[in-house]
Structure 1
Amino acid sequence: MKSSFLILLCLSVLEPAVIAQNQPLSTPAATDRFVTRLMDKAGIPGLSLALIRHNTIAYSQGYGLTKADSTQRVTPATVFDAASLSKPVFAYAVLQLVEAGKLDLDKPLYEYLPYADVAADERYKKITARLVLSHASGLPNWRKNRQSNQLAMRYNPGERFGYSGEGFVYLQKVVEKITGKPINELMIERVFKPLQMTRSSYVWQPAFEADFAYPHDKESQPEDKGRFTQPNMAYSLQTTADDYARFVLAILNAKGLKPATIDQMLSHQRQLPKTFSGTEPLSPGLFWGLGIGIESTPTGDYFWHWGDNGTFRCYVTADRKRGDGIVYFTNSFNGLDIADDMVQQFIGGEHPAPAFLGID
């Protein structure tokens, strides 16, 4: 892919409209130096990168080590925890079910499947798939006691933005009920196989054992790698930067969904506050669509998301109009520290999302 990267980047330099947006590095070697310099500064042991230019994966590369005390290099085939980047992939499958007439975005989920964990609060009967995907379900991110079967509402459904993994768990249960299939099997059938995401799964696969990343703490010390045996649409996706870039391309090219559905996915469903933990003031340029974040700025509109499982952190941003994007995964607590620099270098423009996440 290096030769195509060089050609596409040279073409970008020749386009005045693009050069005003981003200043791509001229060679793969320059890109590699830039990324490794950021990694060294932030203390990130391993990183996998995929760059999209003009609706094509133009460059992919692995950097550093899968485990700090090993000699195994990160490659484009190295599997990482996607963390919350799991959510947009699930949202894509949910919207396929909407297109097929199997799920109504605005029908209360309890009409498909009552949820005993939160049934003591009648407000839950107002939760819909649209509210889950736009993070306005009123459910907390996670219940206080993760082993408890009791789940308390935080807000009235539809009242405000409130990021919620619990909402995705409820929607996962609904999807399994209406399709009659285990969720990972459904994701393989509807997403991974059609998009040729050959190293992706919401549960651990034996094929991952030969090339996967270990998590690292803030001091770059390796920790044990968890191997998910139960799928969770909010965070358990195991994937590669290359595979995830194929998913981003599906959004950019309306593959697997109608263009009108992609329009709805990337529409302004909910305005966000300026900071993740805040409520006011609202950001003039930050919104949530159906399963993914939206930046609307004077320099363009972008869709984005981040992943944070503590010791795996990752980021994606793409510009639908230009067909450009960046996907990167790290095996580090420090992995989001470089998100703003990476996006500015490879996408350019104004991006309020890093500040929303508290990234300096």
Structure 2
Amino acid sequence: MRLSSVRALGTRLAFAYFMMLPAAGCRSSLGAQAMPTASSIDSLARTLMQRERVQGLALAVIDAGAVTHVAAFGRRSEAGAPLTTGTVMYGASLTKAAVAYLVMQLVDEGRLTLDAPVRTLLPKLLPEYPDYADLATDTRWGDITPRMILNHTTGFANFRWLEPDKRLRLHHAPGTRYGYSGEGFYILQLILEEGLGLDLTAAMQHRVFERFGMTHTSMQWRPDFQENLADGFRADGSIEPHDERSRASAAGSMDTSIEDQATLWAGIVRGDGLSAASRAELVRPQFPITSRHQFPTLDTTAGSEHAAAALSAGVGVVTFTSASGPAWFKGGHNDSTGNMVICLERQRRCVVLLANDVRAERIYPALVRGILGEISMPWSWEYDWLAR
């Protein structure tokens, strides 16, 4: 479906549901647009899911930094077991934003500097590690910093296995252009583990997940997840069994539930556990993004479609200028997963979406518009198929 059609449907549905609001509808302390009722949100979600045959979707709404609604719809397995708000789902690249929150805690403690070059952050040269021997003849690797990794400006492809020869290489000088890269987060994990002596799984558990009471979240597989676990549904409706990840990956190994993600993002919006300066740094526009789409990551084609949104890289998130002021978002995707978090900074208002069916991404523009109103979210940059 083209973006114009998605927008039109979203506008009609949003208008219908906002008209159902009681006169004393909830309004934030900043005088922002009234939020729809929980029942209206749920009804909209079910309507859109039916349209695109989405098998499973969970959502949470945050307003003024507090969780106001959490819900789950559909099924979590081929057998029809229901998806619940406690179902363990794949977090995908939402993991990167959670890891960024850990990094900013370390910055607050003076244990890590965002602009320190990687050549100074490891006990030995990066190419001396077996996974990075491909970089031995390109000294530019030493200029990479944690900020560049978190801004996605390292110069790497998303993953080396997407290269024709499966080898790691720099496509441009670090810090010169945006290009989404999981490879960068592998280096960040190396810095945390080899340079600082942290265990990523333990550090995330103690510093992030336990802080926010996230009892169904982990960077590695836990056997207790099995009792309420979501398998995935691909675009053709076929099943993708949940992957039991035995090793933590900063790029995307987090298993989680919508209940846990709701508390995580509410805490991030409030800035719990961070200094005011580090919380501001998370969502400060730091590197302009001029590409027409996020993927393919090495495509340098520029476009003017999103100029008004002022897309920029923050620390682990993408920032933009919405109709309601500063905003930011983070997605997570694979062949059977579609996750998205969108937050309005001034209102401390967010929509958190986890889906174990990649087709859910087709309904996100209309669903978010029905909850937050028209916020000028650059959907066709995030999802290039919307512009086809």
- Percent identity over the alignment is 26
The reply to whether residue 221 of structure 1 matches residue 243 of structure 2 is: no
Cα distance, 1:10 vs. partner?
A: 4.8
Equivalent positions of 1:246-285 (< 5 A) are 246-273=263-290, 274-277=292-295, 278-279=299-300, 280-281=302-303, 283-284=306-307, 285=309
1:228-256 Cα shifts (integer Å, max 9, x gaps): 00111111111112211222112211101
Secondary structure at the counterpart of residue 327 of structure 2: strand
Q: Determine the C-alpha separation between the residues in 1 that align with 2:82 and 2:149.
A: 38
- Cα distance change of structure 1 residues 359 and 37 upon mapping to structure 2, 3 Å threshold: farther
Q: TM-score, normalised by structure 1?
A: 0.91
Kindly provide the amino acid, as one letter, of the partner of residue 281 in structure 1. G
The reply to whether residue 105 of structure 1 matches residue 76 of structure 2 is: no
Give the count of matched residue pairs: 349
Kindly provide the amino acid, as one letter, of the partner of residue 325 in structure 1. C
Kindly provide the amino acid, as one letter, of the partner of residue 41 in structure 2. T
2:339 maps to which residue? Answer: 314
1:206-248 Cα shifts (integer Å, max 9, x gaps): 1211111101111222222211001111111111122112221
Stretch deviating more after TM superposition (186-195 or 271-280): 271-280
Q: 1:188 aligns with which of 179, 182, 205?
A: 205
Q: Determine the C-alpha separation between the residues in 1 that align with 2:328 and 2:259.
A: 18
Cα distance, 1:83 vs. partner?
A: 0.9
Cα distance, 1:16 vs. partner?
A: 9.4
Kindly provide the amino acid, as one letter, of the partner of residue 322 in structure 1. Q
Q: Determine the C-alpha separation between the residues in 2 that align with 1:110 and 1:201.
A: 30
The reply to whether residue 58 of structure 1 matches residue 68 of structure 2 is: yes
Q: Determine the C-alpha separation between the residues in 2 that align with 1:77 and 1:248.
A: 16
Cα distance, 1:150 vs. partner?
A: 4.2
Cα distance, 1:86 vs. partner?
A: 0.8
The answer (yes or no) to whether the contact 1:300–1:349 under 8 Å persists in 2 is no
Q: CA RMSD in A?
A: 2.3
Q: TM-score, normalised by structure 2?
A: 0.84
Q: 1:12 aligns with which of 26, 46, 52?
A: 26
The reply to whether residue 81 of structure 1 matches residue 87 of structure 2 is: no
- Cα distance change of structure 1 residues 115 and 210 upon mapping to structure 2, 3 Å threshold: same
2:251 maps to which residue? Answer: 234
- Cα distance change of structure 1 residues 339 and 178 upon mapping to structure 2, 3 Å threshold: same
Q: 1:296 aligns with which of 321, 332, 345?
A: 321
Q: 2:59 aligns with which of 49, 53, 57?
A: 49
Q: Determine the C-alpha separation between the residues in 2 that align with 1:248 and 1:322.
A: 14
1:139 maps to which residue? Answer: 156
Equivalent positions of 1:62-211 (< 5 A) are 62-67=72-77, 69-113=78-122, 114-116=125-127, 117=132, 118-144=135-161, 150-211=167-228
Structure 1: segments with no counterpart, 5+ residues: 1-6
Q: Determine the C-alpha separation between the residues in 1 that align with 2:120 and 2:348.
A: 39
The answer (yes or no) to whether the contact 1:271–1:288 under 8 Å persists in 2 is yes
Cα distance, 1:272 vs. partner?
A: 1.3
